[in-house]
Amino acid sequence: MLRLRRLLVVDDQRLDRAIAGHAASQAGFQVTGVGSVGETRDQLESGAHFDFVVVDLSLGTEDGLEVLPLIARFNSSAVVVLVSGFDGRILAASQQPRLKPGIAGCGGTAQAGPARRVATSAAPGA
């Protein structure tokens, strides 16, 4: 029996959570979305297990990096993807020494580099 892959999306922007969740659902993931560090803690403390976690580094007034130690403690086998709508300085913050134990507990890091905007235009009459 094929088991659905479970994904936790941590993003304070409801629309961004919905978009990521919809795309992941279409790809066969069972998705749970939360909007804060506290909601993430609640999910993990309740025993929820996730195969993948997508974390927005800017959670409004909270720091998305604070999710990493929680994941390492409760769900250390999860693959974690850090995302940010800001520039590379925020992603560089994920390399801070104070976060190394949490990152190592989540399986380490790999950096894909900054995303590039792709200009698109609608065809006339579309």
Tell me if 64 sits within 8 A of 57, measured CB to CB.
yes
> Taking the model in full, what pTM does it have?
0.72
The residues that bridge with 58 in the sheet, in sequence order, are 63
Q: What pLDDT sits at residue 83?
A: 86
pLDDT 10s per residue in the chain (126 long)? 567 799 999 999 999 999 999 999 999 999 999 999 999 999 999 999 999 999 998 888 998 889 989 998 987 788 888 887 765 655 566 566 655 555 555 544 445 444 443 333 333 443
Q: What pLDDT sits at residue 4?
A: 77
Domains of the chain with bracketed CATH: 5-105 (3.40.50.2300)
